[in-house]
A = this chain, B = another copy of it.
Amino acid sequence: MWLLYQFPLCPFSRKVRLLLGEKGVPYEPVRESPWKRRDEFLDMNPAGQTPVMVHSERGPLRPLIDSIAICEYFEETVDKSAMISGTAADRAEIRRLVTWFDTQFFRDITGPLLFERMEKRLVHKMAPDSKALREAMKAVVAHLDYIDYLLDNRSWLGGSTMSLADLAAAAQISVADYLGGIDWKSHGQAKRWYIGMKSRPSFRPLLAERMEIINPPADYEKLDL
């Protein structure tokens, strides 16, 4: 069995979990809090970040580390539900958008929300900074505008079929949504796409999980936003 070291609000672990769900790869989540910098975890991954995957019986000798490397690994080894498909140019566009959500969306929205509303409360016992929260909310509008723009021209974010770009985006948005950061007002197209993502069986286990102390808004799990 694959073990996946993660915590419920890690957006990069969520991206991997959505991919594993779509591909039907069974795994067992193992709770890891990277901010505790546990020695055994740092020995596995010197970068100190989730997700990390190891196989309890067979599988690669080394742990799989880094969400991009993990997604490419399962894309290469499991044929079912290809998530980086099409021509080389199509695949480049999918990978560009994965980086866009992993990096830009995370830097502007998910990262600040996790720091202000999770880490400060859980680790530092501090109140969130309202200026940082306001800036993240402003960035949400720009990012949802961009998703609307992509969906004006395509059925899915990365092209004509569902891809890792949709999973990366939904993973980040779901964490921001859990932390009360998403306002869908005047983003009907993005909202319809996200409801579609939420209805997928791969999404259900993620929506059912809770992070200690922190509760999501009432409509977090709902399919009619």
Mark out the residues of chain A between 17 and 73 whose CB falls within 8 Å of any chain B CB in the assembled complex.
46-47, 60-62, 64-66, 68-70, 72-73
| Chain-B contact segment, one of A89-97, A171-179, A188-196, A208-216 | A89-97
Mark out the residues of chain A between 154 and 188 whose CB falls within 8 Å of any chain B CB in the assembled complex.
none
In the complex, which of the residues B72, B88, B100 contacts A91, with contact meaning CB atoms closer than 8 Å?
A: B72
Number of copies of this protein chain within its complex: 2
Judge whether A62 and B47 touch: CB under 8 Å: no
Among A68, A91, A146, the one with the most B-chain Cβ atoms within 10 Å of its Cβ is: A68
Total A residues in contact with B, Cβ cutoff 8 Å: 28
Q: List 22 A-B contacts (CB under 8 A).
A: A46-B100, A46-B146, A47-B99, A47-B100, A47-B103, A60-B87, A60-B88, A60-B92, A64-B92, A64-B96, A66-B96, A66-B99, A66-B100, A68-B68, A68-B99, A69-B92, A69-B93, A69-B95, A69-B96, A76-B88, A76-B91, A77-B88
